[in-house]
A and B are shown apart, each in its own frame.
Chain A
Amino acid sequence: MPIAAPGVARYLVGTVIFSTVIAVALTAFGSHRHGFGQNFVYSQCIGLITYATIDLPRRMLWPESAPTFAHMVGLVAIAAPVGWFGGSFIASLLWGDRWSPGTMGLDAVLGFLALTAGAGLAGAFYFWTREQLMASERGAAEARLKVLQAQIEPHFLFNTLANLQALIDVDPRRAQEMLRHLDGYLRATLATTRAERGTLAEEFELLKSYLEILAIRMGSRLAFGLDLPPDLAGARLPPMLLQPLVENAIRHGLEPKIEGGMVRVSAREERDQLVLVVEDNGLGSGTSANPGTGLGVAHVTQRLAAVYGDAASMSTDGNDGGLRVTLRLPLEK
């Protein structure tokens, strides 16, 4: 198990390098006048056994997560004497010495134990912080991926591809048009998952691509309107803020409704606030047959709170049987 475990090769190399450094330091500054070769063999043996005594129990006790720092110190406290006694015994066999820690004097033994513990602690701490860092980076990457997956919903993607396939044969020009919208939508989605702020014009462009695709797919069942006053085109907001709300209107309001209906997105300025409204005349809240209600809206609420704190708000109300979502946020031009 430990050989196949992740990171073992890296840790072994790290241990060998670290032990070599100690061997060099001992040769240069140590009170025992041993040659580098002997110091090197002892150092490696002690280092490797200390490493094994730290890492084996660590992997068994905490197979998934990292141990706490206190646990790490505890492991090192056990591993240092095991590593020093065990390592120096093996090294003495290799080097042809007589293993006699008893003749070394208590000070020397304690000194070497302290050195082993110090080195073990330093090494363990180094790799421990590195792992923490890597785990948090991995977490951040996973979070980004989740956002992306939520935005490019598989049903949307595959149904759109199926429509493209259908159009290519019967109406290549509309197929090209649809492909252009899909391209625009995917590019905007990928770009905006990284950016902190976009403009309202960009947001509406993205919505237009998205809704044009759905209008082709749903045919006469979908009508849409986008109303962006020119002087608000440059207003800044977190990217893809409205998209989940429009997707909700389609997925839960209009797609499951037999007659279909209309979705409208509009922006206006109201006392230094940017007011954004997404309204539909679909099935209204909670009646959806399609799973996943509420996730998109919760996501928008979280983002508003994270970016604007109390300065922004979101409200929903019934609208002609459908749903109207109103966002108010500070106007940034």
Chain B
Amino acid sequence: MAPRALIAEDEPLLAASLKAALASAWPGLEVIAIAPNGNEALRLIEAERPDVAFLDIRMPGMTGLEVAAELADRLDEGAEVPRLVFVTAYDEFALKAFDLAAVDYLLKPVSPERLARTVERLKESLASKAPADQLAQLVGKLQSVIGAQPPASGEPLRIIRAAVGTNVRMVPVEEVCYFQAADKYTSVVTRDSELLIRTPLKELLGQLPPERFRQIHRGTIVNLAEVAQATRDESGRLSVRLKHRKEALPVSRVFAELFRPQ
């Protein structure tokens, strides 16, 4: 069967151009879909199970890196994962991290010679049948890229001000068990209440003390002092149990390092 590929790229001209370049560099490859954003890329990868995915790093919705992190999580369930090639105009930092782990990366504008080399590598990789190892390795690299805390910006946050009807509840950050991204809001969960604030998770991450608050999932920041234990279920997925809440919180593979025994 002919190998199948997905292209995730938000700029339509670039997506079409990569597709055309692939058609001449690798006539046997079938491009089954073009995803205009990260969320769509993830959905299509799950639905179509392509052999290869070209992921733009900077995309609307989930970034290419976040798509890779989500894919890594599904590995535990024995899902098949495509060979990943990252495509970017300029991401020195990320590219350095990927040098070894992704099958390859491409810089825009993509030159035919460079693409031919990528195609060679992909063919080799498809013949060797070991994408799982590769992705596991990629997860390690991803930790340093998306697992890294964003640099602290301005004053550290001490009190969360959450609107409750016409009142504003003042919640000291150490009383927060975890923050959960919820659509346009962020849910602030304490031992006995759940409040909504407008500050997005990514922004919070830069303001919370990193020794206490850590991102454990794309949509979750947890107060480490509130974590009772981390458990791996039968399918290999990691989650944490809290001291004062009943619910378990899933942990992404990229953040699993936080809960490795000493």
Report which A residues bind B (CB closer than 8 A). 154-155, 157-159, 161-167, 169-170, 216-219, 221, 255-258, 260, 286-291, 294
- B11 near A165: Cβ-Cβ < 8 Å: no
A172 CB, min distance to chain B CBs, angstroms: 13
Interface centre among B61, B89, B153, B202 (most CB of A within 10 A): B89
Contact of A154 among B13, B39, B60, B89 (CB under 8 A): B89
Q: Does B20 contact A (CB under 8 A)?
A: yes
Q: Which residues of B contact A167 (CB under 8 A)?
A: 13
| Complex CA–CA separation, A221 to B15 (angstroms) | 15
Known: A158-B89, A162-B109. A286 touches B200 (CB 8 A): yes
**Which chain B residue shows the least CB distance to A214?**
B11
**Complex contact A286–B89 (CB within 8 A):** no
- Whether A159 touches B108, Cβ cut-off 8 Å, given contacts A218-B11, A258-B60, is yes
Known: A169-B20, A286-B203, A287-B200. A155 touches B13 (CB 8 A): no
In the docked arrangement, what's the CA distance between A294 and B202, Å?
Answer: 14
* In the bound complex, CA of A326 to CA of B150 (Å): 29
**For B90, what are the chain A residues with a Cβ–Cβ distance below 8 Å?**
154-155, 157-158
Known: A169-B20, A221-B10. 11 other contacts (CB 8 A): A157-B89, A158-B89, A162-B110, A163-B13, A165-B110, A255-B10, A255-B58, A256-B60, A286-B199, A289-B202, A294-B153
Known contacts: A165-B109, A219-B12, A258-B39. The answer to whether A159 contacts B89 by CB under 8 A is: yes
Q: 5 interchain pairs (CB within 8 A)? A: A170-B17, A218-B10, A218-B11, A286-B202, A289-B63
Q: Given the interface contacts A166-B14, A169-B20, A258-B37, does A158 sit within 8 Å of B200 by beta carbon? A: no
Task: Say whether chain B's binding surface is mostly helix, strand, loop, or mixed.
Answer: loop
- Count how many chain B residues have C-beta atoms less than 8 Å from C-beta atoms of the other chain: 27
| Also in contact, A257 and B108, with CB within 8 A (given A155-B90, A158-B89) | no
Chain B residues positioned under 8 Å from A257 (CB to CB): 60
Which 7 residue pairs across A and B have the least CB separation, nearest first? A166-B17, A158-B89, A162-B108, A162-B109, A154-B90, A165-B109, A159-B89
Contact of A163 among B14, B20, B153 (CB under 8 A): B14
A158 with B107: in contact, given A217-B13, A289-B202 (CB under 8 Å)? yes
> B23: CB under 8 A from chain A?
no
Contact present for B11 and A163 (CB under 8 Å): yes
Interface string of B192-221 (1 = CB under 8 A from A): 000000011011000000000000000000
A170 touches B202 (CB 8 A): no
* B14 / chain A contacts, CB cutoff of 8 Å: 159, 162-163, 166, 217
Asked if B13 contacts A219 (CB within 8 A), the reply is yes
Which residues on the A side are within 8 Å of B37 (C-beta)? 258
Q: Which residue of A lies closest to B57 (CB)?
A: A155
Fill in one digit per residue for B23-48: 1 if any A CB lies within 8 Å of its CB, else 0.
Answer: 00000000000001101000000000
Does B61 lie within 8 Å of A258, measured CB to CB?
yes
Shortest Cβ distance from residue A99 to the other chain B in the assembled complex, whole angstroms: 62
Asked whether any CB of chain A lies closer than 8 Å to the CB of B170, the reply is no
Chain B 75-92 near chain A by CB (<8 Å), digits 1 or 0: 000000000000001100
Q: For B11, give the chain A residue with the smallest CB separation.
A: A217
* Chain A residue nearest in CB terms to B92: A154
B97 to chain A, nearest CB (A): 15
Complex CA gap A219/B203 in Å reads 29
Query: In the docked arrangement, what's the CA distance between A4 and B174, Å?
Result: 56
Q: How far is the CA of A218 from the CA of B60 in the complex (A)?
A: 11
Measured in the bound complex, the distance between the Cα atoms of B110 and A197 in whole Å is 39
Residue of A nearest to B13 (CB): A166
The answer on a CB contact under 8 Å between A155 and B11 is no
Query: B89 contacts A162, CB within 8 Å?
Result: yes
| Interface contact B11-A159, CB-CB below 8 Å | yes
Tell me how far the C-beta of B221 lies from the nearest C-beta in chain A, rounded to whole angstroms: 15
Query: In the complex the two chains form, what is the Cα distance from A256 to B109 in whole Å?
Result: 21
Q: Are the C-beta atoms of B60 and A287 separated by less than 8 Å?
A: no
Q: In the complex, which residues of chain A have a beta carbon less than 8 angstroms from the beta carbon of B107?
A: 158
- Give bound CA distance, A170 to B63, whole Å: 28
Cα-based distance from A289 to B109 in the complex (angstroms): 23
A167 and B200 CA atoms in complex are apart in Å by 37
Q: How far is the CB of A24 from chain B (nearest CB, A)?
A: 58
